[in-house]
A and B are shown apart, each in its own frame.
Chain A
Amino acid sequence: MPDKGHKYGEGGESMIQKLEAKKMVITGDHAAAYAALLADVEVVAAYPITPQTLIVEDFATFVDDGITDAEFIMVESEHSAMSAVIGSEAAGARSFTATSSQGLALMHEMLPIASGLHLPIVMPVVNRTVAAPIGIWCEYNDMMPQRDTGWMQMYSEDNQEVLDMVIMGYKIAENHDVLLPIMMGLDAFILSHTVEPVEAPSSDEVADFLPPYKPIAVLDPDNPMAIGTFTPPEYIQELRYQTHRCMKNARKVIYDVTKEFASKFGRNYHGLIEEYETDDAEVILITMGTVTGTARDVVDAYRKQGKKVGLIKLRFFRPFPAEELRKALQNAEVIGVFDRAVSYGVGGPAWIDVKSALYGFDKPVLNFLAGIGGRDIVRGDVEKMFDIMLDAKNGKAKKEIVWINTRGVEE
């Protein structure tokens, strides 16, 4: 932990130079790195992996250019990267890391330690397919298996959301009713390597929105403390309940933080889900990540043709917005869930949770698997999802789980 800086988050010196508000045309990776800078992180430890590499490179450049005094720890693996930020966060330093795919898989062992110790680490994950076979393109089978590690997880639609979510992420995670780490997915290449306009607030505005980190327990040689020690069955069950409660608390905090962010920065993310044209919608598609943008265009076009379609962007996967979905979907006749990963032999992970949330609803909940392994999800694919739902409304649902654009598999 650096000697200088806001030690234990109690409002010491800032790590960064003053940064003016500006509009940039940048990649999702750069947006993530720049947001970490704005969030005034004190420690970064990361190991490069395609397509997350630019995040690490960009942050290393900020350190090298003297824009921040943050400690940049070079590690030999993602397992060590997570171990290092667990250590620094436990020492009271706001910490940041980023990874992707196999890197996240390698971190897996350390993830429940971060959440179990209630360390609010923020970690962008560039969503990339996990081997075998090896690929570098987008799939959610890296983050989905981390569902039960006690980390919050959300997925971004564009680079602006990536930047905004890293800043909001610290505020949500560090809230004392939550104190859980958060990973935020950004689609490999579709966001990580694509430049688009992004508005960055000034460092003063961010500092005003995001107060210094106030940890509840700190590793400090002057005030010794035991954390994460050997714990017998008399205690673990209660500790698990604590984490369960923190995750449930997070829902309200996410609403509060997105609301405050909206009033301050003018960009409203509406909390755990965002509804688009759902008011009188007969069929509603639930989307995640970048396919949302394409689907918004399809909804607009279908609306012009008089088709009553809408979409819900599932921003947060943990905590899972079960109540919000029940409310938003109560008048829909057919529901579709997009998934970019599969729980083998069952269906898409988002679909499984949506179905469970909608228990007791008597209406078809279809699952659309698409874009797996980075296959481009073209407009026609999204149109097909809506067409199948519209057919199902007229009683013509052929299949519950539809593999979109998969050769040799009937749709």
Chain B
Amino acid sequence: MYEFRFHGRGGQGGRMAAEALALAAFLEGKYAVSFPFFGAERRGAPVRAFTRIDDKKIRTKTQIYEPDAVIVLDESLLETEDVLEGLKDDGVIIINTQRKPEEIELSREVRCATVDATSIALDVLGKAITNTAILGAIAKATGEVGIDSIEKAIIEKFGARLGKEAGEKNAKAARVAYESTVVGKSKGGKQFEPKPQWLPTVDELPLGGSIGTMETYAGLVGIGSFIENKTGGWRVFMPVVNDDKCIGCKICWFYCPEAAIKMVDKGAKTKKAVINYDYCKGCGICANECPTKAISMEREVKA
């Protein structure tokens, strides 16, 4: 059995990629299973998806803890979490990046494949949707599925959703990625601060789970814990307000799902929208709703 774990952000299509990978293996006569991170997917939040491939029927229904391959769709995730967690020693990591394997610093030195899926997607599809290109890199780096079946699976799966032409273009993106994937070794030694999880016993957990703000060894939990748990790190694009265009209508303030917008008196006739970047998750709803197009979404430059 061979197990894959995909790391991406909500909305990047990691789940579709994981399912297409299962389909590709199935088309080769293998048995395959794929499942998403079990839970509510929030746009921009780090999410995972999984695939299992075997020659015989897969009966086990547990989640995957020790994958053979880890796939990273969004390079920014390499900074925030140890994506190698649980990866087998002889496993491989496949990363969407412009960098070469030896330029990537991870917690361990592992087999590492890199591909510039974003540029390939922009080139072939005209959009920075990387979940099909990355499949080509998976075929190259793991050899678990052939690129021909990857192409077929993409045409079948994405074609059904987006139309035949789009299906074929996506298959081409995978082929180009397959040909340009570089396989080597990553650097090791990167330190990650351990993120403890609060795991109380029956007696430590308040009755019924009703909690005010509570200090635990894993930080604050309960109401008010968002003082520490900031959603700003999820952002790929950041909203920027043009004060000259903002008419203070409060529509963005009303729609923002994170309540990250404040109306501030800056001395003009009307108040202006001001974004709290600690909590803005970069969903772009405000930019979409603003009647005067005062908000633009700009690519986030991470320090």
Contact = CB atoms under 8 A, between A and B. Distances in A.
Interface of A: 23, 25, 50, 132-133, 136-137, 158, 187-190, 193-197, 290-291, 293-294, 296-297, 374, 376-379, 406-409
Contacts of B213: none
19 contacts: A25-B26, A133-B209, A189-B35, A189-B36, A189-B38, A190-B61, A193-B36, A194-B34, A195-B22, A195-B33, A195-B34, A290-B61, A291-B61, A293-B61, A294-B62, A377-B62, A406-B202, A408-B200, A409-B201
B134 interface: no
B26 A197 contact: yes
A237 B35 CA distance: 48
Given A25-B22, A133-B209, A408-B202, A195 B62 contact: no
B160 to A, nearest CB: 11
B294 interface: no
A136 B41 CA distance: 12
A196 B199 contact: no
A189 B33 CA distance: 13
Contacts of B267: none
B58 interface: yes
* For the complex of A and B, 5 pairs with smallest distance between CB atoms: A408-B201, A293-B59, A194-B35, A408-B202, A290-B61
B interface residue count range (under 10 / 10 to 19 / 20 to 34 / 35 or more) = 20 to 34
B157 to A, nearest CB: 9
Given A133-B208, A136-B39, A195-B22, A293 B33 contact: no
A379 B62 contact: yes
A190 B63 CA distance: 9
Given A133-B208, A406-B202, A376 B36 contact: no
B255 interface: no
Contacts of A133: 208-209
A407 B202 contact: yes
Contacts of A407: 199-202
Contacts of B260: none
B203 interface: yes
A196 B33 contact: yes
Nearest to B35: A194
A376 B62 contact: yes
Contacts of B61: 187, 190, 290-291, 293-294, 377
Contacts, number: 79
Contacts of A50: 40
Interface string B31-65: 11111101110000000000000000011111101
Nearest to A160: B57
Nearest to B39: A136
A377 B62 CA distance: 6
Most chain B Cβ neighbours within 10 Å, of A23, A137, A406, A407: A407
Given A25-B22, A133-B208, A196 B58 contact: yes
A409 B203 CA distance: 9
A197 B31 contact: yes
Nearest to A291: B61
Interface in B73-110: none
B68 interface: no
A293 B22 contact: no
A187 B38 CA distance: 12
Contacts of A193: 35-36, 38
Contacts of B203: 408
A158 B31 CA distance: 13
A36 to B, nearest CB: 20
B45 to A, nearest CB: 15
Contact of A297 (B22, B59, B208): B59
Interface in B206-220: 208-209
**Residue among B26, B38, B61, B201 with max Cβ neighbours from chain A (10 Å):** B61
B204 interface: yes
B31, B39, B65, B203: residue with the most chain A Cβ atoms closer than 10 Å = B39
Contacts of A379: 60, 62
A297 B60 contact: yes
Interface string B96-127: 00000000000000000000000000000000
Contacts of B39: 136-137
Task: Identify the interface centre among B35, B62, B63, B65: most chain A CB within 10 Å of its CB.
Answer: B62
Given A193-B35, A195-B19, A195-B33, A408 B59 contact: no
Contact of A194 (B33, B200, B202, B208): B33
B202 A376 contact: no
B23 interface: yes
A409 B60 contact: no
A294 B60 contact: yes
B14 to A, nearest CB: 14
Interface string B185-212: 0000000000000011111100011000
Contact of B202 (A189, A190, A377, A409): A409
A196 B26 CA distance: 9
Nearest to B18: A195
Contacts of A296: 59
Nearest to A290: B61
Nearest to A409: B202
Nearest to A295: B59
Contacts of B204: 408
Contacts of B36: 189, 193
A293 B35 contact: no
A294 B19 contact: no
Contacts of B209: 133
